[in-house]
Structure 1
Amino acid sequence: MAEGRQNRRYPQNLQGVLQLAIDAGSGADGPTAIEPISQERSLWLREALADVCKGQMDEVEQMKQCLTVLNKEDVNGEEDRDDDEEDERESAFELLSELCENLDNARDLMVLGGLDVCVAKYLCHAQSGLRWRAAQLIASCAQNMPQVQVHLLKIGALPKLLQLTDSDPHPTVRVKALYAVSCLVREQEAGLEAFLSHDGFSVLMRGMQSEDEKLQTKSAFLLLNLLTSNPEQKDTLISMGMVQQLVSVLRTPHSPFHEHVLGALCCLVEDCEKGLKDCRDPSLNLEELLRLRARELQGKDESQEELEFCERLRMACFRRHQSDDHGMDR
Structure 2
Amino acid sequence: MAQPDWKGLFEWSIQQQDHSTDPSTRRQITEEDRKWFMEAMQSQTEDVTKRLRGIKGALDDKDDSDAQVGEKLKLLDDLVEIVEHIDYAKDLTHIGGLPTLLGLLGSAHAPVRASAAEVVATCVQNHPPVQMHFLEGGVLPRLLQLFQDPDPTCRRKALLALSCLTRHNDEAMDAFRAEGAVDLLLMAARDSSDPRQQRKALQLLREVFRHRPADVRSAARAGLMPAIADGIASEDAGVREAALALLALLVQHPGVVQAVQADERLKELLKMNEQRLNNLDIEDLDAERDQLALTEHILEKLDGGGGPEPDLAAAAPDATVDGANPDTGGQAPDQAPAKPSEEQPVMMLGPP
Q: TM-score range by the shorter chain?
A: 0.7 to 0.9
Q: Does 1:10 align with 2:9?
A: yes
Q: Which residue of 2 aligns with 1:88?
A: 71
Match of 1:289 among 269, 277, 284: 269
Describe how 1:4-83 pairs up with structure 2 within 5 A. 9-11=8-10, 28=23, 37=28, 39=30, 42-74=31-63, 81-83=64-66
Where do 5+ consecutive residues of structure 2 fail to align?
306-352
Describe how 1:104-183 pairs up with structure 2 within 5 A. 104-119=87-102, 121-165=103-147, 167-183=148-164
Q: Contact (CA 8 Å) 2:240, 2:291: kept in 1 or not?
A: yes
Q: Contact (CA 8 Å) 1:204, 1:223: kept in 2 or not?
A: yes
Describe how 1:272-311 pairs up with structure 2 within 5 A. 272-282=253-263, 284-298=264-278, 299=280, 300-311=285-296
CA distance in structure 2 between the partners assigned to 1:170 and 1:135 by the alignment: 13
Cα gap change, 1:8 to 1:301, in 2 (>3 Å):
closer
Q: Which residue of 2 aligns with 1:328?
A: none
Cα gap change, 1:22 to 1:117, in 2 (>3 Å):
same
Cα gap change, 1:186 to 1:233, in 2 (>3 Å):
farther
Q: Contact (CA 8 Å) 1:96, 1:137: kept in 2 or not?
A: yes
SS of 2:288 mapped into structure 1: helix
Match of 2:186 among 198, 205, 230: 205
Cα gap change, 1:141 to 1:277, in 2 (>3 Å):
same
CA distance in structure 2 between the partners assigned to 1:139 and 1:254 by the alignment: 25
Identity of matched residues, %: 25
Q: Which amino acid aligns with 1:57?
A: E
Q: Give the deviation of 1:278 after TM superposition.
A: 1.2
Cα gap change, 1:209 to 1:141, in 2 (>3 Å):
same
Q: Which amino acid aligns with 1:97?
A: V
Q: Contact (CA 8 Å) 2:126, 2:167: kept in 1 or not?
A: no
Q: Contact (CA 8 Å) 2:195, 2:236: kept in 1 or not?
A: no
Q: Give the deviation of 1:222 after TM superposition.
A: 2.2
Match of 1:315 among 297, 300, 304: 300
Q: Give the deviation of 1:67 after TM superposition.
A: 1.1
SS of 2:9 mapped into structure 1: coil
Q: Deviations over 1:46-68 (max 9, x none)?
A: 21221121111011111111111
Q: Contact (CA 8 Å) 1:287, 1:318: kept in 2 or not?
A: no
Cα gap change, 1:274 to 1:103, in 2 (>3 Å):
same
Cα gap change, 1:52 to 1:83, in 2 (>3 Å):
same
Deviates more, 1:303-312 or 1:84-93: 84-93
CA distance in structure 2 between the partners assigned to 1:107 and 1:252 by the alignment: 40
Q: Contact (CA 8 Å) 2:140, 2:176: kept in 1 or not?
A: yes
Q: Give the deviation of 1:22 after TM superposition.
A: 9.9
Q: Contact (CA 8 Å) 1:238, 1:275: kept in 2 or not?
A: no
Q: Give the deviation of 1:251 after TM superposition.
A: 3.5
- Mark the structure with the bigger radius of gyration: 1
CA distance in structure 2 between the partners assigned to 1:193 and 1:208 by the alignment: 20
TM normalised by structure 2 equals 0.74
SS of 1:285 mapped into structure 2: helix
Q: Which amino acid aligns with 1:128?
A: A
Match of 1:102 among 76, 85, 103: 85
Task: Report how many residues are paired.
Answer: 293
Q: Which amino acid aligns with 1:268?
A: L
CA distance in structure 2 between the partners assigned to 1:59 and 1:213 by the alignment: 37
CA distance in structure 1 between the partners assigned to 2:292 and 2:149 by the alignment: 34
SS of 1:73 mapped into structure 2: coil
Cα gap change, 1:204 to 1:71, in 2 (>3 Å):
same
Q: Contact (CA 8 Å) 1:207, 1:219: kept in 2 or not?
A: yes
Q: Which residue of 1 aligns with 2:200?
A: 218
CA distance in structure 1 between the partners assigned to 2:41 and 2:299 by the alignment: 57
CA distance in structure 2 between the partners assigned to 1:21 and 1:103 by the alignment: 25
Describe how 1:239-250 pairs up with structure 2 within 5 A. 239-250=221-232
Q: Which amino acid aligns with 1:69?
A: A
Higher relative contact order, structure no. (Cα contacts within 8 Å, ≥ 6 residues apart): 2
CA distance in structure 2 between the partners assigned to 1:22 and 1:295 by the alignment: 52
Aligned-residue CA RMSD (Å): 3.0
Cα gap change, 1:105 to 1:11, in 2 (>3 Å):
farther
CA distance in structure 1 between the partners assigned to 2:221 and 2:167 by the alignment: 22
Q: Give the deviation of 1:254 after TM superposition.
A: 5.4
Q: Deviations over 1:121-142 (max 9, x none)?
A: 1111100111011101111110
